[in-house]
């Protein structure tokens, strides 16, 4: 089976879901991976204060796995103190279409979580959490994409911000 046939088969369910022609998605995907994508973790604009729940820290980041194919928005609302806690929300965007968010709570009893967001041709295995005496938020793991074979790249975005 050649690469285009493989990608067509793998992306067909995504194309049906987003209502696009599968050959268009294959072209978009091939163009994106031809750029030899590197994972990028970038802080994005913060929400207006009056639209967010009360939190000591509110941070949002975009993790680009494959440009224009798979991007994750990671939003963190954290309260400091002895009983610190944080609400973390991850929202994937696939070929420009936002998917449903997944949210979870982190605290001193459960300070990290491992997630595996993926579509058939790109994904990530990530651990998100708070670490060390300063309770610094970080994301680490691997991202991957398919281009004749599975290409895997590490990501380590530690100490994005600290609660202490």
d(CA 71, CA 65): 6
Which bin fits 134, alpha (ψ -120 to 50), beta or left (φ > 0)? alpha
d(CA 99, CA 44): 18
- For 102, the 3-state DSSP assignment is strand
Show pLDDT as tens, one digit a residue, over the chain (164 residues). Answer: 788 899 999 999 999 998 999 999 999 999 999 988 888 889 885 654 444 456 788 999 999 999 999 999 999 999 999 899 999 999 999 999 999 999 999 999 999 999 999 999 999 999 999 999 999 999 999 999 998 899 999 999 988 999 98
**Is residue 69 within a helix (H) or strand (E), and if so which, with residue range?**
none
In 3-state terms the chain splits into helix, strand, coil percentages (rounded to 5) of 20, 50, 30
pLDDT digits (tens, 9 = 90+) for 1-46: 788 899 999 999 999 998 999 999 999 999 999 988 888 889 885 6
Q: How confident is the model at residue 36, as a pLDDT?
A: 82
Q: Which two tokens stand for residue 2?
A: 């050649």
């Amino acid at each position: 089976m050649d690469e285009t046939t493989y990608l067509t088969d793998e992306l067909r369910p995504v194309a049906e879901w987003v209502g696009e022609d599968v050959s268009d998605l294959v072209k978009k995907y091939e163009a994106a991976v031809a750029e030899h994508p590197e994972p990028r973790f970038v802080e994005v604009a913060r929400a207006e204060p009056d639209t967010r729940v009360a939190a000591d820290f509110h941070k949002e980041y975009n993790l680009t796995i494959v440009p224009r194919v798979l991007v994750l928005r990671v939003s963190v609302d954290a309260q400091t103190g002895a009983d610190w806690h944080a609400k973390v929300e991850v929202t994937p965007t696939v070929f420009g279409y936002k998917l449903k968010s997944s949210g979870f709570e982190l605290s001193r009893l459960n300070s990290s979580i491992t997630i595996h967001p993926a579509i058939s041709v790109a994904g990530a295995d990530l651990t998100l959490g708070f670490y060390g005496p300063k309770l610094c938020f970080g994301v680490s793991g691997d991202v991957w994409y398919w281009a004749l074979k599975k290409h895997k790249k590490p990501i380590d975005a530690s100490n994005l911000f600290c609660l202490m």
